[in-house]
Structure 1
Amino acid sequence: MEYTHVKHTFLPVYNEESRILILGSFPSVKSRENQFYYGHPQNRFWKVIAGIFKEPLPQTIDEKKDLLLRHRIAVWDVIDSCDIVGSSDSSIRNVVPNDMDLILSNAKIQGIFANGGKAHQLFVKYCHKEGMPPLGKLPSTSPANAAWNLERLTEEWKTAFETYLEITEQEKTFEKRRNDNG
């Protein structure tokens, strides 16, 4: 097992309208090569997000960012740097966490969701503070999570997001009315 000290090298995806923050643990080797989130072709993250919103599967980084931002979703990772063997979450050590205030103070995040148990565990250990939005743990979209097929994953994620998505729809309706009357 060859440990490598690795730093996260690409920015979080969010804007001031983001309501849901999805956190991974740390980018896989493929994601680091691609310089973007969930870059391994077997990871089901993009299929799940596209499925929730009944949208085509995004292909480019710009299409992926657009899909997230249109649906008020922010994406980041818990870890800024660590020692890791390949892409193995179980090998992670010497963690330097990301500063969640970057997103939480610049967006209207109402719910934080960890993509899998390791991201949840690391967030609770290194990042969670009193007064943060509620934290949920979602089943991992990693191909290693073979117990969950795509349909079941998508349904579970959609159910977890529903409260936040309803709030977003109500806000959009209110905003439209305000602009129409304005």
Structure 2
Amino acid sequence: MSRLPVEGAGDRHSAFAPIVDANTRVLILGSLPGVVSLGAGQYYAHPQIAFWRLVGAAIGTDLDRLGYDARLAMLRAHGIGLWDTVATARRSGSLDAAIRDIDARDLAGLIATLPVLRRVAFNGQKAAAIGARTLPPGFPQVTLPSSSPAHTLNFAAKAAAWAVVGAGLATVPPSRRASRSPILCR
């Protein structure tokens, strides 16, 4: 299907490769990296995004004090993977609300390569709206409050919701054919 350009929709951006391995048990999915992250070539590079603090709180490790490569190594050591629901899109600025002309990722294809994956955790409503449609039917998922400062929920409330990331690492793997309804944390 060809896409028509959207007037005033901003530059076309491509997201990063997945950070996963055969031991990934929880896959955290964002929407599309922001301008700072794209410029740095790093997931969640903007210092005001609470992502690293939230995941660190969920796994009991201070990820903020680590460099980027060490953060990724710590995620892998805990069975956490990262990716985005958008492969490419147009956007002016960094807000999810400005994402247009979306080419979604093949999440089912990636999930099929992750033998011990237990849960997908969407970082915010936009990621969930795009990604939930492409998950295998009944696959366990949770929608978390966005780690973006644009989502004004306080850190303590976000951290309480994000605790399911750590909890997902210890749970018994569900059958991928089991019917599960999504959990929604607001």
Residues 1:17 and 2:20 aligned together: no
Residues 1:31 and 2:37 aligned together: yes
Identity %: 28
Tell me by how many angstroms 1:82 deviates.
0.6
Change (3 A) 1:112 1:4: same
2:168 aligned residue: 164
Please give the alpha-carbon distance, in whole angstroms, between the structure 1 residues aligned to 2:31 and 2:46. 14
1:117 aligned residue: 125
Tell me by how many angstroms 1:31 deviates.
0.7
1:87 aligned residue: 94
Is the 2:9–2:98 Cα contact (8 Å) retained in structure 1? no
Give 3-state SS (helix, strand or coil) of 2:171's partner.
helix
TM-score, scaled relative to structure 2: 0.80
1:50 aligned residue: 56
Residues 1:155 and 2:137 aligned together: no
Equivalenced residues, count: 163
Query: Unaligned stretches of 5+ in structure 2?
Result: 1-7, 173-186
Is the 2:24–2:76 Cα contact (8 Å) retained in structure 1? yes
Give 3-state SS (helix, strand or coil) of 1:18's partner.
coil
Matches within 5 A, 1:67-106: 67-106=74-113
Is the 1:3–1:84 Cα contact (8 Å) retained in structure 2? yes
Tell me by how many angstroms 1:102 deviates.
4.6
Change (3 A) 1:102 1:35: farther
TM-score, scaled relative to structure 1: 0.82
Please give the alpha-carbon distance, in whole angstroms, between the structure 2 residues aligned to 1:32 and 1:129. 29
Tell me by how many angstroms 1:130 deviates.
2.1
Please give the alpha-carbon distance, in whole angstroms, between the structure 1 residues aligned to 2:47 and 2:88. 23
Please give the alpha-carbon distance, in whole angstroms, between the structure 1 residues aligned to 2:109 and 2:72. 18
Is the 1:14–1:103 Cα contact (8 Å) retained in structure 2? no
Q: Which has the larger radius of gyration?
A: 1
Is the 2:29–2:82 Cα contact (8 Å) retained in structure 1? yes
Please give the alpha-carbon distance, in whole angstroms, between the structure 2 residues aligned to 1:78 and 1:152. 24
Tell me by how many angstroms 1:162 deviates.
5.2
1:64 aligned residue: 71
Query: Unaligned stretches of 5+ in structure 1?
Result: 169-182
> Which structure has the highest helix share of the two?
1
Q: Please, what is the CA RMSD of the aligned residues? A: 1.8
CA displacement 1:58-84 (0-9 Å, x = unmatched):
432211111211110111000010111
